[in-house]
Structure 1
Amino acid sequence: MTTAIGIAGFDKKFQEDADPWGTFANRDEANKRRAIERAMGSRIHGRVLELASGNGSNSRMILQHSLRLVACDGAPAAVALTRRELSDEPRAKVYECALPAELPVGRFDLVVAAEILYYLPPAKLARLARNFDRLLSPNGSLVLAHHHVRFADAASQPAGVHDRFTAMLPFSAQKQWTFRTGRWVVDRYQRAR
């Protein structure tokens, strides 16, 4: 069995290849990006947080639906790639932060987390969920996008990761929208006031 990948592993991947999963060019990744965009809805959100921005392949699209975007990743090479992708965008800030220990300060109207939750062991996933009480604004939205098929370097089972994570949140979150393919799912949740 392969060991779960951590920050050092992701950093190495992004140092060796700026797009190790083909997120800019792959048609399935483009479809997932469109599903994330649909999940965000048609309105412009105020302050938005993107967790695990990777190489920034979703960041510009997320920014188009935001007044301000804070993008973060734990891998320094990924942070550098996201900064390069958003270098011409004064409404975007990019930070290095290792989840769940380091999170940006303040509340966000929308949080987008794609391809990160199953890389966190259960205790870290629970800690991240607890932090959402101070992270997500009352009536804020949460968009989750993850594979649901098993793969070797995940720390936990991909199938059902959205349900497990939202069950750990310290507040009620109602699922409002979902789109599922044979490989991945995108869900939007609304925080109850």
Structure 2
Amino acid sequence: MAERPRLRSEYFENLYSASPDPWGFETSPYERRKYERTLEVLQDRRYGRALEVGASIGVFTEMLAPLCDELLGVDVSEKAVSVARQRLRKYSHVRIERRELPEEMPEGPFGLILASEVLYYLPREVMLETLARFEDALAPGGRLLAVHWRKETETYPLQGDEVHGLLVGNSRLHVRETIVEPEYRLDLFEDGR
């Protein structure tokens, strides 16, 4: 079967044109449960500098902000970035930027990189390149947290379980915690340096 193409910014701009919250980040019980679980896994430490990839409209960014001294949220959609900037304007330690990864990966080091429901938009080789960029940008002892929806879709280049299989099989980071729920999988990786 031919690999599905990478989903680019136009795809996401169209989604945000049709709805200001296309995945229901503000209202979805699924998103709320996943956010709470993600915060539970992360709240055992404070992060000096963190990167949230796929910040969208900033719903989780706002929840993550209290755990960070400096937080950079990035998204490929200018529409989403605009909404997130408004939502987070009261936080002087949070910046939101439009970037397309891995090509526009911000310079590290980061104590935390969070990739929630974004890596399956990339074909295999681009996803692995993104993982390498994440590893390069992590501070010694830093963490990479990946969480993805596990339901099958014909739209995305990869499925959630595929993403996590590739991460576990190709990362130099060690897995600190894995949570597998029917709807999503979460892996917390840590740099051993």
Q: Deviations over 1:58-100 (max 9, x none)?
A: 1011111111100001111111121111111100011111111
Identify which of 22, 25, 34 aligns with 2:24. Answer: 22
Superposed, which structure 2 residues align to 1:1-193 within 5 Å? 5-169=7-171, 172-193=172-193
Q: Please report how far the alpha carbon of residue 174 of structure 1 lies from its aligned counterpart in structure 2 after TM superposition.
A: 1.5
C-alpha distance in structure 2 between counterparts of 1:26 and 1:87, whole Å = 24
Residue type of the alignment partner of 1:180: V
Deviation at 1:165, TM superposition (A): 2.3
Residue ranges of structure 2 left out of the alignment (5+ in a row)? none
Query: Are 1:106 and 1:135, in contact at CA under 8 Å, matched by a contact in 2?
Result: yes
TM-score w.r.t. length of structure 2: 0.92
CA contact (8 A) 1:52 1:116 kept: yes
Distance 1:76 1:36 in 2: 25
Q: CA RMSD in A?
A: 1.8
SS in structure 1 of the partner of residue 97 of structure 2 = strand
CA distance in 1, matches of 2:165, 2:48: 26
Amino acid at match of 1:186: L
1:136-172 CA-partner distances (Å, limit 9, x unpaired): 1111011111012211211113223123024333xx2
Alpha carbons 2:54, 2:73 under 8 Å: kept? yes
TM superposition outliers: structure 1 runs of 4+ over 6 Å: none
TM-score normalised according to structure 1 size: 0.92
Structure 1 alignment gaps of length 5 or more: none
Q: How much does 1:18 deviate?
A: 1.4
Question: In 2, are the aligned partners of 1:129 and 1:166 still within 8 Å (CA)?
Answer: no
Quote the Cα distance in structure 2 between the aligned partners of 1:133 and 1:181.
26
Q: Deviations over 1:165-189 (max 9, x none)?
A: 24333xx212112222211112211
**Post-superposition offset of 1:4:** 5.8
- 1:24 CA displacement: 1.0
Whole-angstrom CA distance in 1 between matches of 2:139 and 2:130: 15
Give the whole-Å Cα distance in 1 for the aligned partners of 2:145 and 2:134. Answer: 13
CA positional deviation for 1:6: 2.5
SS of 1:186's partner is: strand
- Measured in 2, the distance between the counterparts of 1:128 and 1:3 equals 16
Contact 2:168-2:175 within 8 A present in 1 as well: no
Sequence identity of aligned pairs in percent? Answer: 24
